[in-house]
């Protein structure tokens, strides 16, 4: 093709032929800046993840870490805190030499997030690292703070000219929650995208970093056998459950502001729903996969306030028994207001109004202090059109059910009807089970190890795009606001139980919740 005179030919960077065959793709030299560097998330998740990446030799060739938090302390003290957190929370016992090598390149900047001087010091430290490296380093700003600081930090980064950097990529990693309502999410997006380009923004939903969630895409799109029945013609209903057996624990301050709907359904469970319902992407790229997920979210009708009681149920756990012990109810937990109307259980019935799924109910259920910990997707098929066998003397012929368990025992189970051995044709349901853990030798990395690496590489596949976040809030917002207008007290369920009886009210006639 002729090139017009005067039009510069874009420079195409050559491929790196040395990366072929390597399991780990190189990550460009990077300085990671953690805002909220002394907080729980940093100590429990981020620092241990960074150590494990270092242990595996998976950090970039040049890697520097800058921690920013309010308290005044010296670099050495912060390094000692990092080492303590890693020793305490790492999935493997750290090796002293590796830990020392990692911490050599750690710096600490004290100050409040609205303080301009913090950003001046940050810019200076970033420049120093580049002087040491002799090359521009990519920059990744990780917002591991309370959400009210997100806009402040983003705007300060913008004003300090730190949102872009000549010759290197600058990325912003934002923890959940991304807003507490649709209006807040939109406003936060507006402020973030006023400074950063969407391609620079990596919104964390740590569920997406779990191997188990990623496996759902492999399960659906690498196996031809499921696609023929993966539609309204064969599927009767879908149940997505994320049950916890623990109470609110030490998270009461956060949890009482959020509740079960915001904590799990608005983000993680809607992402799981997308993985179940999405169309096969044209290619397995971040944009194509996220495009398909957004289409699913946009196909879910936004409930009206009048519809909310019909499709959504909330409740709180009362005192009960868990693990053989008496446990308090939510309102008796430490730091929970005695008149709190925050839900610890939420269940929804949603529809995905498109050609594939019209008429199929998607039930979402989550709660604390339920009978056991399990996260699963149960896809129930329609019953056979005609049953030639007598039901007499049998436990009944039940529709096939495909259950994808995400935790604790990741696997796939298919309920089938089978003949009970004997002279009579009597059928009972049996399970054909597959457990992922039995079929692989490798250990799954922690979600944060994968997500930090992907963000540093600029791979957005496992992060939530701005339109996805807003589409998720569009579904949940009317429920949140309707519930906010309804007075308490909330329905109760005993700790350690299957949840409130009210949960049955949103089910279509003939449907039942699976036993947790």
- Interface residues toward another protein, by CB under 8 A: 13-24, 26-29, 54-57, 59-63, 95-102, 104-105, 132-135, 372-373, 408-409, 435, 437-443
Distance CA 88, CA 84 (A): 6
Tokens found for residue 279: 């169309």
- In 86-175, the DSSP E strands lie at 106-110, 138-143, 170-174
**Residue in 31, 172, 41, 167 with CA at minimum distance from that of residue 106:** 31
Our CB check for another protein shows the closer of 148 and 442 to be 442
Distance CA 127, CA 139 (A): 11
Look up 512 and say whether it is catalytic.
Answer: no
Phi-psi region of 246 (alpha: psi -120 to 50; beta: other; left: phi over 0): beta
Partnered with residue 37 across adjacent β-strands are none
CA gyration radius for the chain?
A: 25
Distance CA 230, CA 276 (A): 9
Query: Could you say which of 55, 64, 206, 268 is catalytic?
Result: 268
Tokens found for residue 47: 């620092």
Distance CA 445, CA 449 (A): 6
- Closest approach, Cβ 25 to another protein, in A, equals 8
Tokens found for residue 221: 């799109």
Contact in structure between 205 and 267 (CB atoms under 8 Å): yes
Distance CA 31, CA 37 (A): 14
- Residues sharing a CB contact under 8 Å with residue 165, sequence separation 6 or more, in sequence order: 136, 139
Contact in structure between 382 and 235 (CB atoms under 8 Å): yes
Distance CA 121, CA 211 (A): 38
- Closest approach, Cβ 169 to another protein, in A, equals 11
Q: What are phi and psi of 361, to 5 degrees?
A: -75, 135
- Closest approach, Cβ 414 to another protein, in A, equals 16
Catalytic residues: 268
């Amino acid at each position: 093709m002729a090139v017009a005179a005067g039009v510069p030919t874009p420079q195409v960077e050559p491929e790196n032929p040395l990366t072929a065959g390597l399991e780990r793709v190189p990550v460009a030299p990077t300085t990671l800046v953690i805002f909220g560097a002394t907080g729980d998330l940093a100590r429990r998740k981020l620092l241990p993840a960074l150590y494990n990446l270092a242990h595996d030799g998976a950090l970039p060739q040049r890697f520097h870490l800058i921690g920013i938090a309010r308290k005044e302390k010296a670099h050495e003290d912060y390094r000692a805190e990092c080492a303590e957190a890693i020793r305490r929370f790492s999935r493997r016992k750290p090796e002293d030499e590796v830990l020392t090598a990692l911490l050599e390149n750690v710096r600490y900047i004290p100050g409040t997030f609205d303080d301009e001087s913090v950003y001046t010091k940050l810019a200076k430290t970033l420049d120093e690292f580049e002087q040491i490296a002799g090359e521009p380093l990519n920059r990744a700003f990780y917002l591991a703070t309370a959400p009210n600081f997100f806009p402040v930090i983003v705007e300060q980064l913008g004003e300090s000219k730190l949102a872009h950097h000549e010759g290197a990529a600058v990325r912003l990693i934002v923890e959940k929650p991304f807003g507490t309502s649709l209006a807040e999410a939109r406003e936060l997006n507006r402020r973030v995208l006023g400074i950063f380009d969407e391609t620079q923004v990596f919104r964390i939903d740590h569920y997406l970093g779990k191997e188990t969630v990623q496996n759902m895409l492999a399960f659906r799109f690498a196996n031809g056998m499921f696609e023929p029945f993966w539609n309204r013609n064969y599927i009767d209903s879908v149940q997505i459950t994320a049950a916890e057996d623990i109470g609110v624990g030490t998270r009461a301050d956060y949890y009482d502001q959020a509740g079960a709907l915001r904590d799990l359904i608005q983000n993680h469970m809607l992402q799981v729903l997308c993985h179940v319902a999405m169309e096969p992407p044209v290619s397995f790229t971040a944009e194509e996969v996220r495009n398909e997920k957004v289409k699913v979210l946009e196909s879910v009708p936004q409930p009206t306030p009048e519809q909310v009681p019909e499709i959504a149920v909330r409740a709180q756990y009362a005192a009960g028994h868990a693990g053989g012990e008496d446990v308090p109810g939510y309102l008796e937990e430490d730091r929970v207001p005695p008149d709190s109307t925050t839900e610890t259980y939420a269940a929804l019935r949603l529809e995905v109004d498109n050609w594939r799924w019209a008429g199929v109910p998607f039930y979402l259920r989550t709660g604390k202090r339920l009978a056991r910990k399990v996260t699963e997707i149960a896809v129930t098929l329609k019953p056979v059109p005609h049953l030639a066998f007598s039901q007499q003397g049998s436990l009944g012929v039940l529709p096939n059910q495909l259950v994808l368990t995400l935790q604790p025992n990741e696997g796939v189970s298919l309920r089938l009807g089978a003949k009970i051995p004997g002279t009579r044709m009597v059928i009972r349901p049996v399970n054909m089970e597959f457990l992922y853990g039995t079929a692989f030798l490798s250990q799954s990395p922690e979600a944060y190890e994968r997500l930090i690496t992907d963000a540093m590489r600029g791979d957005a596949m496992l992060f939530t795009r701005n339109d996805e976040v807003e589409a998720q809030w569009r579904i949940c917002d009317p429920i949140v606001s309707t519930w906010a207008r309804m007075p308490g007290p909330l329905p109760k369920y005993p700790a350690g139980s299957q949840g409130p009886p009210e949960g049955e009210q949103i089910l279509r006639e003939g449907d039942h919740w699976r036993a947790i």
